[in-house]
C-alpha cells in the first residue's frame, strides 16, 4: 500500500493447529498473498465499500478447534481390524482428521467450516504404507460393506472428498509418495499416486544427479493447484495444467496404471499405444476412485530445457480477435506454445492491476496505440522445447497475432504472471473474511460455440448487480478451447451463493 493509505488487517499468521481454518485455508499454513492496493480499490469501488468496512473481519474466521463431529457409523471392531492390518498409528479417528480428510476446497465447504458445520465426515482416515495396505483395507471394507474413499492432495473443488455415508478415507499422500523409477530409454517415470507436483518435478529436473540420467526432465503438468495436488489426483480427475497446450492434459501423460479393486489388482500394459481394444486405461481415467484405488502410475516425461523458453505477451483490441488468433495458432501446424492464455476485457483490467502493470510505461504505450481499458484483451505465454523450435513458434505467433490486430508487448506481463501463478488462490481467504466471495467455474467449448457460451454465461453473471466476471481460456486444441469464468460477489446467505453458482452451471449446460 502507498504511504498513509489504509490497509485492512489481513490475517498473516498460520491458523491454529487443529482448527477449522487450518482445514479450509489454501496451501501452506504460513504462506499468504494479500490483495495489492489496486485490487483493494477495485473491490471497494465494485461493492460500494469504504475503508470503514474493512476495519474488522465481518464473518466467522473458523479459528475454533474441531471437537464435535457426528458419531461414527462403522463398528469399532472394523477400526480395530484395519489397525491390525496397517498399524495403529496409521489410522486416525479423532474429530480433526475425520473432518479434514472429508473436505475439499470449494466455497461451500469453506463457508460451512467457518461456521463449525461438519456433517459429511469420514469415520476413519487411514494412511496406507503401500499397495498391500490398500489391498488389506479394501478387503476389510468390502467384506463389511463399508464405503471407501481416496484423498491425496485435498485440492478438489467438486465436493469430491465429502463422505455422505461416512466410511473410510484412504490418505494416499502420507506414505505412498515416491518416485519408483525413471526409465530414460523409454522416457517414462513410475510413481506412487501420492507424490505432490513440486516433489515430482524437482526429482525429474534433478534426474542427472539422482538417477545418473543424461538429461534433465519435466512432467509438463502445472495446474494452478500444482503445489498442493498429486500425480494420482491429476489422473483420476482428468486434470489439465497451464502448459497443456504443448504437453497435453493429464490423461495424455499416462502410459500405464495399477489399481486395487475388491475383485483384485488391475494393471494396464505399459506400451505407448495399442490396437487391442477396448482401452482399459480410458475406463479408469477420471474415475475418481469409483472403480478402484490407484496405487502405481507410469507417466511420460519430457526433456527439460528452460534455457530455450521464449516469453511473449500480446494485447488485442477485442476478445473476438484474441480468440481468432489463438484458434489460428492452434490450427496452423506451425507448432504450439507451452503456455497460452487469453483474458477477456474485464479480466485484463484486473490482471494489469494484479501484475502491477497498470499506469506503467507498457500501459501508457498500449493506450497511446488505441488499446483501451474495458476493451483490450491480454494474451500471455511462452514456448518450450529445442531452441530453434521454440524460436520458430514464437516467430509464428507474432505473425498470427499481428494479422488479428494484436500488438507485441514483450514478455514482461507473462513473467509477472508466472512469478505468482500458484499464489493467487491465497487471496480467497482474505476476501472471504470480509464477506466477499471469489469462485471459478470452467467448461470446454468448441470454436464454433465459444462466443455463444461466453456471451450467455457472462450475461447471466453480470445480470446480478455488483458482480465481477472475469473470463479466460488457457487450454487450446485444434478443435476448441476452454472458458474459465471467475466471479467476485457478495452474498447474504449460503443459499443465495448456491443458487447463483448452480445458475451459472445451468447456463453453461444449455
- Nearest residue to 49 (alpha-carbon basis) of 8, 10, 11: 8
- CA angle in degrees (0–180, nearest 5) for 32-36-38: 160
Pairing between β-strand 148-151 and β-strand 168-171 as defined by DSSP bridges: parallel
**Residues 104, 96: Cα–Cα separation, whole Å:** 14
**Residues 128, 194: Cα–Cα separation, whole Å:** 11
Helix (H) or strand (E) holding 440: strand 437-446
According to the model, what pLDDT value does residue 294 have?
Answer: 98
**Residues 76, 95: Cα–Cα separation, whole Å:** 15
DSSP 154-174: ---SSSTT--TT--EEEETTT
- Cell numbers found for residue 505: 452451471
Burial string for 12-37 (b: 16+ CB within 10 Å, else e) reads eeebeebbbbbbbbbbeeeebbbbee
Phi, psi of 133 (to 5 degrees): -65, -45
CA–centroid distance for 124 within its chain: 27
How does pLDDT run across 72-85, given as a tens digit for each residue?
999 999 999 999 99
**Residues 486, 440: Cα–Cα separation, whole Å:** 4
How does pLDDT run across 11-43, given as a tens digit for each residue?
999 999 999 999 999 999 999 999 999 999 999
- Whether the bond between 166 and the residue before it is cis, its omega within 30 degrees of 0, is no
CB of 311 closer than 8 Å to CB of 340? no
Which residue bears the cell 524460436?
391
CA–centroid distance for 290 within its chain: 21
For 276, residues 6+ apart whose C-beta sits below 8 A from its C-beta are none
Q: In angstroms, what CA-CA distances link 288 with 15, 97, 233, 497? A: 30, 21, 8, 26
Q: In angstroms, what CA-CA distances link 19 with 195, 428, 484? A: 25, 18, 32
**Residues 443, 429: Cα–Cα separation, whole Å:** 25
DSSP conformational letter for 427 = H
pLDDT average, residue stretch 103-107: 96
pLDDT average, residue stretch 215-244: 97
| Burial classification of residue 146, based on how many CB atoms lie within 10 Å of its CB (0-12 exposed, 13-18 middle, 19 or more buried) | buried
CB of 189 closer than 8 Å to CB of 205? no
Residue 44 has pLDDT above 60, yes or no: yes
**Residues 155, 425: Cα–Cα separation, whole Å:** 11
- Cell numbers found for residue 138: 479394501
How does pLDDT run across 311-321, given as a tens digit for each residue?
999 999 999 99
- CA angle in degrees (0–180, nearest 5) for 27-218-471: 55
**Residues 162, 203: Cα–Cα separation, whole Å:** 32
**Residues 498, 500: Cα–Cα separation, whole Å:** 5
**Residues 147, 74: Cα–Cα separation, whole Å:** 10
**Residues 111, 117: Cα–Cα separation, whole Å:** 9
- Cell numbers found for residue 82: 484395519
pLDDT band at 510 (very low <50, low <70, confident <90, very high): confident
Residue 301 has pLDDT above 60, yes or no: yes
pLDDT band at 142 (very low <50, low <70, confident <90, very high): very high
**Residues 232, 289: Cα–Cα separation, whole Å:** 10
How does pLDDT run across 46-65, given as a tens digit for each residue?
999 999 999 999 899 999 99
pLDDT band at 3 (very low <50, low <70, confident <90, very high): low
**Residues 296, 356: Cα–Cα separation, whole Å:** 43
According to the model, what pLDDT value does residue 58 have?
Answer: 85
How does pLDDT run across 159-191, given as a tens digit for each residue?
999 999 999 999 999 999 999 999 999 999 999
- Cell numbers found for residue 327: 484458434
For 118, residues 6+ apart whose C-beta sits below 8 A from its C-beta are 20, 66, 69, 70, 99, 103, 112
pLDDT band at 415 (very low <50, low <70, confident <90, very high): very high
According to the model, what pLDDT value does residue 1 have?
Answer: 53
DSSP 185-196: TTTEEEE-TT-B
pLDDT average, residue stretch 427-443: 96
**Residues 338, 474: Cα–Cα separation, whole Å:** 10
**Residues 502, 498: Cα–Cα separation, whole Å:** 6
**What is the 3 state secondary structure string of 209-243?**
HHHCCCCCEECCCCCCCHHHCEHHHHHHCCCCCCC
How does pLDDT run across 462-507, given as a tens digit for each residue?
999 999 999 999 999 999 999 999 999 999 999 999 999 999 999 9
Residue 4 has pLDDT above 80, yes or no: no
CB of 377 closer than 8 Å to CB of 322? yes
- Cell numbers found for residue 109: 465447504
Q: 407 - beta bridge partners?
A: 315
How does pLDDT run across 367-387, given as a tens digit for each residue?
999 999 999 999 999 999 999
| Residue 162 three-state SS | coil
Amino acid at each position: 500500500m502507498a504511504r498513509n493509505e489504509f490497509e485492512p488487517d489481513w490475517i498473516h499468521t498460520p491458523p491454529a493447529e487443529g482448527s477449522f481454518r487450518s482445514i479450509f485455508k489454501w496451501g501452506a499454513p504460513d504462506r499468504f498473498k494479500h490483495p495489492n492496493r489496486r485490487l483493494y480499490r477495485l473491490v471497494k469501488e465494485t461493492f460500494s465499500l469504504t475503508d470503514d468496512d474493512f476495519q474488522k473481519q465481518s464473518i466467522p474466521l473458523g479459528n475454533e478447534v474441531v471437537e464435535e463431529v457426528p458419531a461414527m457409523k462403522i463398528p469399532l471392531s472394523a477400526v480395530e481390524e484395519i489397525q491390525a492390518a496397517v498399524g495403529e498409528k496409521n489410522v486416525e479417528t479423532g474429530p480433526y482428521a475425520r473432518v479434514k480428510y472429508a473436505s475439499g476446497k470449494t466455497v461451500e465447504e469453506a463457508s460451512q467450516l467457518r461456521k463449525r458445520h461438519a456433517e459429511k465426515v469420514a469415520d476413519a482416515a487411514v494412511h496406507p504404507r503401500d499397495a498391500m495396505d490398500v489391498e488389506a483395507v479394501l478387503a476389510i471394507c468390502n467384506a463389511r460393506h463399508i464405503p471407501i474413499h481416496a484423498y491425496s492432495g485435498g485440492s478438489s473443488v467438486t465436493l469430491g472428498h465429502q463422505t455422505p455415508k461416512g466410511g473410510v478415507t484412504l490418505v494416499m499422500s502420507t506414505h505412498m509418495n515416491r518416485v519408483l523409477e525413471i526409465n530414460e530409454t523409454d522416457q517414462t517415470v513410475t510413481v506412487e499416486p501420492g507424490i505432490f507436483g513440486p516433489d515430482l518435478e524437482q526429482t525429474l529436473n534433478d534426474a542427472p544427479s539422482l538417477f545418473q540420467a543424461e538429461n534433465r526432465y519435466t512432467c509438463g503438468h502445472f495446474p494452478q493447484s500444482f503445489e498442493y495436488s498429486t500425480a494420482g489426483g491429476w489422473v483420476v480427475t482428468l486434470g489439465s495444467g497451464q502448459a497443456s497446450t504443448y504437453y497435453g492434459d493429464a490423461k495424455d501423460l499416462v502410459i500405464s496404471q495399477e489399481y486395487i479393486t475388491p475383485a483384485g489388482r488391475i494393471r494396464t500394459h505399459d506400451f505407448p499405444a495399442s490396437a487391442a481394444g477396448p482401452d482399459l486405461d480410458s475406463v479408469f481415467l477420471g474415475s475418481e476412485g469409483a472403480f478402484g484405488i490407484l496405487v502405481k502410475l507410469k507417466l511420460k516425461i519430457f526433456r527439460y530445457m528452460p534455457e530455450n523458453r521464449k516469453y511473449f505477451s500480446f494485447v488485442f483490441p477485442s476478445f473476438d480477435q484474441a480468440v481468432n488468433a489463438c484458434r489460428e495458432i492452434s490450427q496452423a501446424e506451425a507448432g504450439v506454445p507451452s503456455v497460452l492464455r487469453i483474458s477477456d476485457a474485464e479480466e485484463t483490467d484486473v490482471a494489469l492491476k494484479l501484475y502491477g502493470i497498470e499506469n506503467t510505461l507498457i500501459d501508457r504505450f498500449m493506450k497511446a496505440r488505441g488499446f483501451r481499458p474495458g476493451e483490450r484483451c491480454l494474451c500471455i505465454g511462452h514456448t518450450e522445447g529445442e531452441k530453434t523450435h521454440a524460436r520458430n513458434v514464437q516467430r509464428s505467433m507474432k505473425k498470427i497475432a499481428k494479422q488479428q490486430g494484436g500488438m507485441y508487448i514483450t514478455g514482461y506481463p507473462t513473467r509477472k504472471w508466472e512469478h505468482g501463478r500458484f499464489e493467487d488462490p491465497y487471496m480467497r481467504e482474505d476476501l472471504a473474511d470480509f464477506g466477499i466471495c471469489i469462485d471459478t467455474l470452467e467448461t470446454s467449448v468448441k470454436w464454433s460455440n465459444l462466443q455463444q457460451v461466453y456471451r450467455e454465461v457472462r450475461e447471466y453473471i453480470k445480470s446480478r448487480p455488483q458482480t465481477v466476471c472475469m473470463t479466460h481460456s488457457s487450454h487450446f486444441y485444434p478443435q476448441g478451447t476452454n472458458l474459465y469464468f471467475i466471479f467476485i460477489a457478495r452474498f447474504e446467505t449460503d443459499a443465495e451463493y448456491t443458487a447463483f453458482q448452480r445458475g451459472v452451471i445451468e447456463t453453461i449446460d444449455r
